[in-house]
């Protein structure tokens, strides 16, 4: 049976104009880390780094302070404040609370009376956030990072999702992008993105398996690459399986060894974070040691074989979907031309051995598995931004079957899994009895035969059916699946022409009004948020200087060579002024907004004034303490050079220069013109 090929291409009228100055980016929104990449105007794709030269952004958001913080700073707070620091949020996207089957430290709010099944985390101060909003915070940071490097606005993005994400999870991801201020050109399956990056980089052709194991999701896709066409033949996986499960298994082992039968949230979070670090170390080392500060476990040696014993049963859960995908594609492992590894969890040696034994091929690791998905997304974003990149066609498939409920709670499949997308399909149904003047169309997703075993997506009612004997009415139900695998359902009674349509909005997502409200709230408060962020940064910087000066004063004591009584008095006066300023701006930012000005947007008018005042006080403190700091540094240099030869000192200077060069090499580079 031949498979029709569909060329996925954006209508020209919908493509952003290059003249607008915008650029399209590719985003890998990952469970553990996220990153952004660019491939502008046909150039080779590259991942973008932050100001510290780091390409991977931890997918962690902290709500411990007035303003959310994202990334490394948020991750550093996880053990001390686990309930307000949200990580692995991808595992919650588009899922109801009853489907979350792993331990987490978050407090989930009771379902709302509206009937929405979306999870809401209680993060303090009476505030609730959804996984969609948490993901939007991560996307905002990546968008801002790209705009800062490019010094121009971002027109839109291609965001990758696991191939096995269902409709609810895909819609949740698209909503997060919209809330973050991004036009989402396309949701691209992660294995397809990886194949796109590999195909263009290698110029290869053939049939490839893409094994994608990230922090919280697993996908396997079989793709054919031929003459620039990337066709997905079959896909499978588990959207609730990943490296996080390895971490939890090892963390449980550590807590058992520590004799902790009922760990607190703090103990569990510490064990999980240290387990993740140990797992990463064991990818390249045979053993490592772990010390739990909140549990009685010190210098406990963890070997690679011990880790593999704890995680092997989890790792083997990825193999059955691999075998099914090969069967669905109609090929044997021996017919593959290669196996591509994607996702940070594929660095685990056990995973690489299992993949090689299952597919009978040594896996390809030419491209960093952490970066390959973002690179492929960047290529697709470049195409959809209007770039002429010849010879690229993506042919994706629907990951799960779509159908409707018929009498008896039976599923009638309309679109089968692994059908190429975009696709439309229709089927005619009839009435059950003469009294039936309406029909309920219940849309479901899954591979089971009974509705109760599948995921409910939407319901709509078609009224106005004429009274006809049983089996005489004719109702045509059409399913239309777009390139993002998002569904529109239409039901039409053929005799009267009565018609009803619904764009499927999954039960476990935000309503259109909620998304619109969040988008407008973000736009309305953009200036407030920017001003509040600058103020918070000014407070942090002043606090840093105060802490450093106080520490230096304490260490100097009464040494007259370093500090005269008059200088100490001047510095102490400046410190008192700084303390007073810090105390006056310690009020939460929302209270400052309410009290700084009489009404509305004028409320943040004093923010720049407060920020300027904090900067002025910091500069004054730095100026008055500068002579003392200089003398202290000179004293330290004299002590450091005492007893050393000129050659030794020159060697130290050379080493320092080399260190500076190494640091410089990690600074971000300006894009070429």
Taking domain 243-316, whether its CATH number is 3.40.720.10 is answered by no
Residue 3: the pLDDT is 33
The percent of residues in the chain predicted with pLDDT above 70, rounded, is: 78
Contact 77, 86 (CB under 8 A): no
**Euclidean distance between CA atoms 16 and 23, whole angstroms:** 9
Phi and psi at residue 650, to the nearest 5°:
-60, -40
- What the block records as the tokens of 434 is 């003469």
Strand, helix or coil at 474? Answer: coil
Give 151-176 pLDDT, tens digit per residue: 888 878 999 998 888 888 888 999 99
Residue 587: the pLDDT is 52
Topology adopted by domain 12-241+317-396: Nucleotidyltransferase; domain 5 (3.30.420)
Most confident of 278-292, 379-393, 435-449: 278-292
Binning pLDDT at 50, 70 and 90, where does residue 580 land?
Answer: confident
Most confident of 277-281, 479-483, 550-554, 576-580: 277-281
Residue 145: the pLDDT is 92
Average pLDDT over residues 117-136: 89
pTM of the full structure: 0.67
Which of 133, 166, 167, 212 is labelled catalytic? 212
Average pLDDT, the chain: 79
Binning pLDDT at 50, 70 and 90, where does residue 288 land?
Answer: very high
Question: In CATH, what is the architecture of 525-642?
Answer: Up-down Bundle (1.20)
Residue 333: the pLDDT is 92
User: For residue 16, is pLDDT > 60?
Assistant: no
Alpha helices, DSSP H, located in 557-645: 565-584, 589-596, 607-641
User: For residue 21, is pLDDT > 50?
Assistant: no
Cβ–Cβ contacts within 10 Å for residue 449, how many? 11
Taking domain 398-514, whether its CATH number is 2.60.34.10 is answered by yes
- Lowest-pLDDT choice from 90-99, 307-316, 436-445: 436-445
- What the block records as the tokens of 23 is 């650029």
Which of 28, 133, 219, 270 is labelled catalytic? 28
Domain extents in the chain: 12-241+317-396, 243-316, 398-514, 525-642
List the end-to-end C-alpha distance of the chain, in Å, as a whole number: 50
Reply yes or no on whether 320 is catalytic.
no
- 173 CA to centre of own chain: 9
**Euclidean distance between CA atoms 455 and 657, whole angstroms:** 61
- What the block records as the tokens of 275 is 């387990």
Same-fold call for 243-316 versus 525-642? no
Give 632-652 pLDDT, tens digit per residue: 877 777 776 666 665 655 555
Which of 175, 190, 370, 484 is labelled catalytic? 190
Contact 262, 50 (CB under 8 A): no
- Which DSSP helix (H) or strand (E) runs through 560? none
Reply yes or no on whether 28 is catalytic.
yes
User: For residue 211, is pLDDT > 60?
Assistant: yes
More confident residue, 491 or 501: 491
């Amino acid at each position: 049976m031949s498979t029709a090929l569909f060329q996925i291409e954006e209508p020209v009228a919908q493509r952003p104009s290059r003249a607008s100055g915008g650029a399209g980016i590719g985003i890998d929104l990952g469970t553990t880390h996220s990153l952004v990449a660019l491939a502008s105007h046909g150039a080779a794709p590259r991942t973008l780094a932050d100001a510290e030269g780091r390409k991977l952004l931890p997918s962690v958001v902290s709500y411990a302070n007035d303003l959310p913080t994202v990334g490394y700073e948020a991750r550093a707070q996880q053990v001390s404040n686990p309930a307000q620091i949200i990580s692995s949020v991808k595992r919650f996207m588009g899922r109801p609370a009853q489907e979350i089957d792993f331990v987490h430290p978050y407090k989930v709010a009771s379902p709302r009376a509206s009937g929405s099944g979306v999870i809401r985390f209680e993060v303090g101060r009476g505030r609730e956030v959804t996984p969609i909003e948490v993901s939007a915070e991560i996307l905002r940071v990546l968008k801002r990072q790209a705009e800062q490097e490019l010094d121009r606005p971002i027109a839109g993005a291609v965001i990758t999702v696991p191939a096995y994400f269902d409709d609810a999870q895909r819609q949740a991801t698209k909503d997060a992008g919209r809330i973050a201020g991004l036009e989402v050109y396309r949701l691209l399956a992660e294995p397809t993105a990886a194949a796109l990056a590999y195909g263009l980089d290698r110029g290869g052709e053939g049939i490839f398996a893409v094994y994608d194991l990230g922090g919280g999701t697993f996908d396997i896709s079989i793709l054919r690459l031929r003459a620039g066409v990337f066709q997905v033949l079959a896909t499978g996986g588990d959207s609730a399986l990943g490296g996080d499960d390895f971490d939890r298994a090892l963390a449980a082992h550590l807590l058992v060894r520590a004799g902790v039968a009922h760990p607190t949230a703090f103990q569990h979070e510490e064990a999980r974070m240290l387990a993740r670090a140990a797992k990463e170390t064991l990818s390249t080392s045979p053993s490592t040691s772990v010390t739990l500060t909140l549990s009685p476990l010190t210098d406990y040696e963890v070997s690679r074989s011990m880790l593999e014993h704890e995680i092997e049963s989890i790792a083997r859960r990825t193999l059955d979907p691999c075998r099914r995908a090969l069967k669905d594609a109609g090929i044997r492992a021996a017919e593959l031309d290669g196996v591509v590894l994607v996702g940070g969890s594929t660095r685990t040696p056990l995973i690489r051995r299992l993949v090689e034994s299952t597919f009978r091929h040594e896996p390809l690791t030419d491209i960093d598995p952490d970066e390959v998905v973002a690179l492929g997304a960047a290529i697709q974003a470049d195409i959809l931004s209007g770039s002429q990149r010849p010879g690229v066609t993506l042919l994706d498939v629907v990951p799960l079957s779509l159908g409707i409920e018929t009498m008896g709670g039976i599923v009638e499949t309309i679109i089968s899994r692994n059908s190429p997308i975009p696709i439309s399909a229709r089927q005619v149904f009839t009435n059950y009895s003469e009294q039936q003047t309406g029909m309920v169309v219940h849309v479901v997703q899954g591979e089971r035969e009974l509705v109760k075993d599948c995921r409910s997506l939407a319901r709509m009612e078609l009224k106005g059916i004429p009274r006809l004997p049983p089996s005489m009415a004719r109702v045509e139900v059409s399913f239309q699946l777009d390139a993002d695998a998002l569904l529109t359902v239409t039901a039409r009674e053929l005799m009267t022409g009565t018609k009803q349509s619904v764009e499927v909005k999954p039960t476990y997502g935000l309503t259109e009004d909620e998304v619109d409200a969040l988008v407008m709230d973000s736009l309305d408060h953009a200036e407030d948020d920017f001003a509040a962020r600058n103020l918070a940064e000014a407070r942090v910087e002043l606090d840093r200087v105060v802490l450093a000066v106080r520490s230096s004063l304490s260490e100097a004591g009464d040494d007259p060579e370093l500090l005269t009584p008059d200088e100490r008095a001047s510095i102490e006066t400046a410190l008192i002024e700084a303390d007073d300023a810090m105390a006056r701006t310690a009020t939460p930012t929302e209270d400052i907004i309410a009290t700084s000005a009489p009404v509305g947007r004028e409320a943040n008018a004093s923010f720049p004034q407060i920020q300027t005042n904090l900067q002025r006080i910091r500069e004054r403190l730095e100026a008055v303490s500068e002579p003392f700091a200089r003398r202290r540094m000179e004293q330290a240099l004299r002590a450091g050079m005492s007893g050393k030869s000129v050659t030794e000192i020159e060697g130290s200077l050379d080493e320092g220069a080399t260190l500076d060069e190494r640091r410089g090499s990690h600074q971000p580079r300006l894009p070429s013109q």
